[in-house]
Amino acid sequence: MSSSIMVTGTAGFIGFHTALALLKKGKTVIGVDNLNPYYSVKLKEDRLRLLQAYPNFHFHKVDLSDQEAMARIWQSHAPILQVIHLGAQAGVRFSLVDPFPYITSNIMGFMVILELCRHQPNFQHLVYASTSSVYGTNKEIPFREDQRVDSPMSLYAATKRSNELMAQSYHHLYALPVTGLRFFTVYGPWGRPDMSAFKFMKAMLAGEPIDIYNHGKMARDYTYIDDIVAGILGALIHPPKSTKDQLHPIYNLGNNHSESLMDFIETLEKELNITAMKNFLPLQDGDVPATAADISAAARDFGYSPSTRISEGVARLVAWYKEYNELQ
C-alpha cells in the first residue's frame, strides 16, 4: 500500500506552494486547513482551487486542535508516514491583539500532530515550521542554530519556540524522526496580505503613504518561496537518525543575504514604476531591527542552496499581484 504525505496549512502561503510542488511530483497529498478568517478566505479558497485540480490531492477543512477529527482523517488515509506541518496562526503583530488563537493552533494543534505521528507504525519523518522570530533579542548576526533562543519578543515567537521544545521531547521519549525549519521572511506570489510587501504594494497603487518602521533602519533575510519549498522538500527526504540521546535537527532556511528594508522598497518602486510616499515610524513592539540566516547546516546536510535574487523574486511577486488583482 502506498503512503500519503500530510501537509497542514495547505490553504496558507507556504503550505499551498509546498503541496503544489509535491502534487507535481505525483505524490498523494492529504491537505488540512481550517480556513480561518485571519486574512482573506477568498485567497485561501483560490489557492485550494489550484490544488484541487490534482486527483492526488485530498483536502479536509478541520482545525488541527480537534483531536477526534484529525484522528479520523489520519485513519481514513492510512498509512501516513510523512508529515509537513505548516499550519499555524501566523503573524507577529496579531499575536499582540488576539493571543488565544496562537495557543489553540500553534500549541494544541502541534500536540495533536506529534501524537498522531508517534503512534503511526514505521513513521518516517515529521518536518515542521519554526521561525526566525525565535532568535528574539539575539544581537549576533547572522543567526546560527546553536545560539540561545530564550528571549522571544512576541507570543508568536514563544509558541514556535515551544514547538521546538515539544518536538525535542518527542524525539527523546519516542525516537520520533522530526526536523524543525526556521523560516526567514518568506515572500512571493500567493503570499499573505498582512505581509509588508503586500501592504506596500496595495498602498503604493492606491496613491497612499507606506508605513516604514524603525525609520527605515531595518534589514531582513528576504527568502523567495521557491527556495523555501526546495528546502522543505530537501529536509523531508533526509530524516534524522532516531537516536534518543541527541537533539533533533533544526535548520535555518533563509536567502543567505540580508537586504535593507529601504532597498527592498526601492525594488518594489522600480517594478511598480511608482515612487512611494513614505511615513517613517518608530520600531514596533515585538519587532527586531535585523535578521540574517547562517544556512551552512542546511547546505551541508541536504544541499539547501537558495538561488533567487531579490530583483527576480520581487519582479515575479509584482507580476502575480497585478494579474491576481486584475491590474494589468
DSSP-assigned letters across all residues of 55-109: TTEEEEE--TT-HHHHHHHHHHT--EEEEEE------TTHHHH--HHIIIIIIIH
Torsion of CA 6, 8, 9, 13, to 10 degrees: -60
Q: What is the number of domains present in the chain?
A: 1
Cβ of 194: how many Cβ atoms within 10 Å? 15
> Domain for residue 117, yes or no?
yes
| Active-site residue, selected from the candidate residues 156, 170, 187, 224 | 156
Block mean pLDDT (10 aa), the chain, length 328: 88 98 97 95 98 98 98 97 96 86 96 98 97 91 94 92 97 95 97 94 96 93 97 96 80 93 96 95 85 96 96 97 90
Core vs surface per residue 34-45: b (16+ CB within 10 A) or e: beeebbeeebbe
Mean pLDDT of the chain: 94
Is 106 in contact with 114 (CB distance < 8 Å)?
no
Q: 272: alpha, beta or left, given left = phi > 0 and alpha = psi -120 to 50?
A: alpha
Mind listing the pLDDT tens digit for each residue in 77-122? 999 999 999 999 988 888 888 999 999 999 999 999 999 999 999 9
Q: Determine the pLDDT at residue 288.
A: 83
Q: Is 156 tagged catalytic? A: yes
> Is 181:145 a contact under the CB 8 Å cutoff?
no
pLDDT at 195: 92
Residue 30 is assigned to a structural domain of this protein: yes
CA distances from 163 to 88, 97, 250 (A): 11, 21, 11
Q: State the Cα–Cα distance between residues 171 and 110, nearest whole angstrom.
A: 14
| pLDDT of res. 328 | 64
Domain assignment present for 120: yes
- Distance, CA of 317 to CA of 183 (rounded, Å): 18
Give the pLDDT of residue 64: 97
Residue 29 phi/psi, 5-degree rounding, is: -115, 130
Query: What is the C-alpha end-to-end distance of the chain, expressed in Å?
Result: 47
| pLDDT at residue 244, rounded to an integer | 67
Q: What is the largest CA-CA distance in the chain?
A: 58
Cα 28-188-286 angle, rounded to 5 deg? 105
Identify whether 211 is part of a domain: no
Distance, in Å, from the CA atom of 203 to the CA atom of 205, rounded to the nearest integer, reads: 6
Structural Rg of the chain based on CA atoms: 19
What is the number of alpha carbons within 13 Å of residue 144 lying toward its C-beta?
6
Can you give the pLDDT at residue 96? 82
Residue 220 lies in a domain: no
Residue type, 251: Y
Rounded to whole angstroms, the Cα distance separating 193 from 199 reads: 7
Q: How far does Cα 47 stand from its chain's mean position?
A: 15
- Give per-residue pLDDT as tens, 186-226: 999 999 999 999 999 999 999 999 999 999 999 999 999 99
For residue 134, give its domain range.
4-184+225-255+292-307
Flag whether 148 is in a domain: yes
8 A C-beta contact, residue 175 and residue 244: yes
Residue 321 falls inside a structural domain: no
Which runs of consecutive H residues, i.e. helices, occur in 217-294? Answer: 225-236, 261-272
Residues 6+ apart with CB under 8 A from 55: none
Q: Is residue 118 part of a domain?
A: yes
Residue 229: CATH number of its domain: 3.40.50.720
pLDDT of residue 94: 85
Q: How far is the CA of 69 from the CAs of 34, 37, 75, in angstroms?
A: 12, 20, 10
